[in-house]
Amino acid sequence: MDQSTPKTPNSLSLPWKTRIELWLLGVGIDLITRKDGTVNRWLFNLVDFKTPPSSQPINGVKTHDVMVDATRNLWFRVFTPTEYPIQDLPVIVFFHGGGYITAHPDSAKYDDVCRKLARELPAVVVSFDYPLAPEHQHPTQHDNGLDLLKFLDNEDNRSKWLPNANISRCFIAGDSAGGHMTHHVFERASRLEFEQLKVIGLVLLQLFFGGEKRTESEIVLDGTAPILTLKRTDWFWNAFLRAGDRDDGIVNVSGPNALDISKIDFPPTMVVVGGFDILRDWQIRYYQWLKKSGKEAYLVDYANMFHVFFLYPELPESDQLISEVKGFVQKVLNKVG
Ligand SMILES: *[C@@H]1O[C@H](CO)[C@@H](O)[C@H](O)[C@H]1NC(C)=O
Ligand SMILES: *[C@@H]1O[C@H](CO)[C@@H](O)[C@H](O)[C@H]1NC(C)=O
């Protein structure tokens, strides 16, 4: 794996439908992210198509929404597969992407992906609605992620809301900003004592990491790769972080001010990257940092794919990714027995 030679951007070939959607998404991001640092929520909600919860199975999965704390409007959606008579399913806690500023568990594309994961793995998927920036800034999102884990560790909550699940077989998965959140929530959770909850694996899909100094992939792919540009990622980080210091170990996670993770009991971790993602080099650096720290990590490289490609079901790579996650989850489960 050579992180210093990203692809030439003009070789990305995609169906027209996907291209048009990606172009619209780019225009949409630029329209909702105002110059004064606020998000146009009205406009965002207009184009954020929602899927309601459904107690009748759709594609073999039923869903319901659970309130963690009404005063903070913290809730999650549970995806339970119905075609398997299995008790004792693993739990996938899922943190969605969206630059910390957009998307929810009921956003149609995220609802679809979580539904597929629940059915194919199979697993009970818990997709969390954390508060968004800039209305809420760091560390609120990570604090609330921990609150979710504590809520799921509670016996009463579990028997009421996740009766088919075994929380000792818990994975945390996230894409983009949700992957960034996965790393930090896990790292903080690793210092807590839980009754039953045990995180046995991490799935990090195209992590949103960064630093002050630009990487090669950021420079080469900026302006030509879909979805993310430097202007947009800078905007997202400024919305999320009050101080704006990107080298404090929160953003540049594996950088010079990084935490020593060699003593943390890090579970097996799957790191997924794409060839046309400006964040590619940060993600590979993170993977290399895990390896260097003696952790069990797997790198999966979709050389012809862009940031959050798996949200586009018309691409065969989207289903391949689900199979890849399934393989990883099975491998980890076989080990813990
Ligand atoms: C839950 O999973 C753990 C770890 O895999 C296992 O030891 C335990 O027996 C499981 N619990 C039940 C009720 O099957
Ligand atoms: C971020 O982290 C990398 C190591 O992964 C380091 O080389 C770099 O100096 C850090 N800071 C910046 C400014 O990117």
pLDDT single digits (tens) 264-309: 999 999 999 999 999 999 999 999 999 999 999 999 999 999 999 9
Q: To 10 degrees, the CA torsion angle through 98, 99, 101, 106?
A: 20
- For residue 247, the ligand 2 atom closest to its alpha carbon is 11
Residue 252 is predicted with a pLDDT of 75
pLDDT at 12: 80
Amino acid at site 142? H
The answer to whether the pTM exceeds 0.85 is: yes
Q: pLDDT over 90 for what percent of the chain? A: 84
**E strand or H helix that includes residue 67:** strand 61-69
Cα of 179 from ligand 1 centre, angstroms: 26
Contact 63, 53 (CB under 8 A): yes
Residue 34 confidence (pLDDT): 96
Please give the Cα distance from 188 to 145 (Å, whole number).
10
Average pLDDT of every residue of the chain: 92
Alpha helix (H) ranges present in 33-139?
A: 41-47, 108-120
Range of weakest confidence among 99-108, 241-250, 315-324: 241-250
Mean pLDDT for 49-54 is: 97
If pLDDT is split at 50, 70 and 90, which confidence band does 240 have? very high
pLDDT surpassing 50 at residue 126? yes
Mean pLDDT within 227-254: 83
> Which of 111, 186, 114 is closest to 145 using CA atoms?
186
Pairing of strands 269-276, 199-205: parallel
- pLDDT category at 144 given cuts 50, 70, 90 is very high
Helices (H) then strands (E): counts for the chain: 10, 8
Q: Which atom of ligand 2 is nearest to the CA of 214?
A: 14
Cβ–ligand 1 distance for 166 under 6 Å, the answer yes
Higher pLDDT, 256 or 215: 215
Verify whether ligand 1 is closer than 6 Å to residue 333 (CB atom).
no
Ligand 2 close to Cβ of residue 52 (< 6 A) = no
Give the atom of ligand 2 at the shortest distance from the alpha carbon of 285: 5
307 among known catalytic residues: yes
* Ligand 2 atom having least distance to the Cα of 212: 13
Ligand 2 in reach of 212 Cβ (< 6 A) = yes
Residue 183 tokens read as 């790393």
Q: Indicate the SS3 state at residue 185.
A: helix
User: Which carries the bigger pLDDT value, residue 208 or residue 260?
Assistant: 208
The residue type of 195 is E
Give the residue with greater pLDDT, 242 vs 319.
Answer: 319
pLDDT for 9 beyond 60: no
Residues 196 and 153: their CA atoms lie apart, in Å, by 6
| pLDDT of amino acid 4 | 47
Cβ pair 267, 300 in contact under 8 A: no
Task: Give the pLDDT confidence score for residue 2 in this predicted structure.
Answer: 46
Q: Look at 248 and 264; give whichever has higher pLDDT.
A: 264
Query: Cα(279)–Cα(93) distance, rounded to whole angstroms?
Result: 23
- Given a cut of 60, whether residue 229 has pLDDT beyond it is yes
Are 95 and 174 within 8 A, CB to CB?
yes
| Residue 274 · residue 309 · CB < 8 Å | yes
Q: Residue 70 — pLDDT band, cuts 50, 70, 90?
A: very high
Alpha-helical segments (H) within 94-176? 108-120, 140-153, 155-161
Nearest bound ligand to the CA of residue 196: 1
Nearest to 17 by CA among 234, 313, 322, 333: 313
Ligand 1 pocket test: pick from 86, 166, 198 the residue with the most ligand atoms within 8 Å of its Cβ.
166
Q: Give the span between the Cα atoms of 243 and 283, in whole angstroms.
A: 23
Which CA distances in Å does 246 have to 41, 216, 258? 26, 17, 12
Beta-bridge partner residues of 195: none
Q: What is the mean pLDDT of residues 67-96?
A: 93
Q: What is the bridge-based pairing of β-strands 124-129 and 199-205? A: unpaired
Of the residues 247, 253, 254, 282, which should be mutated to test ligand 2's pocket, given the most ligand atoms within 8 Å of the CB? 247
What pLDDT does residue 61 have?
Answer: 96
Tell me the average pLDDT across 144-163. Answer: 96
Q: In the annotation, is 281 catalytic? A: no
DSSP element (H, E) containing 168 = strand 165-175
- Whether the pLDDT of residue 324 is over 50: the answer is yes
Once rounded to an integer, what is the mean pLDDT over residues 26-38? 95
Average pLDDT over residues 188-200: 96
212: pLDDT confidence band, cut at 50, 70 and 90? confident
How many angstroms from the chain centroid is the CA of residue 130? 12
| Cα 40 to Cα 29: distance, rounded to the nearest angstrom | 10
Q: What is the mean pLDDT of residues 30-42?
A: 96
What is the 3-class SS of 251-302, one letter each residue? CCCCCCCCCCCCCCCCCCEEEEEEEECCCHHHHHHHHHHHHHCCCCEEEEEE
Q: Is 213 in the pocket of ligand 2 (CB under 6 A)?
A: yes
| Average pLDDT of span 40-47 | 94
- DSSP annotation string for 76-139: EEEEEESS---SSEEEEEEE--STTTS--TTBHHHHHHHHHHHHHTT-EEEEEEPPPTTTS-TT
Q: Which of 213, 215, 245, 288 to mutate to test the pocket of ligand 2 (most atoms within 8 A of CB)?
A: 213
Question: Tell me, what's the pLDDT at 183?
Answer: 96
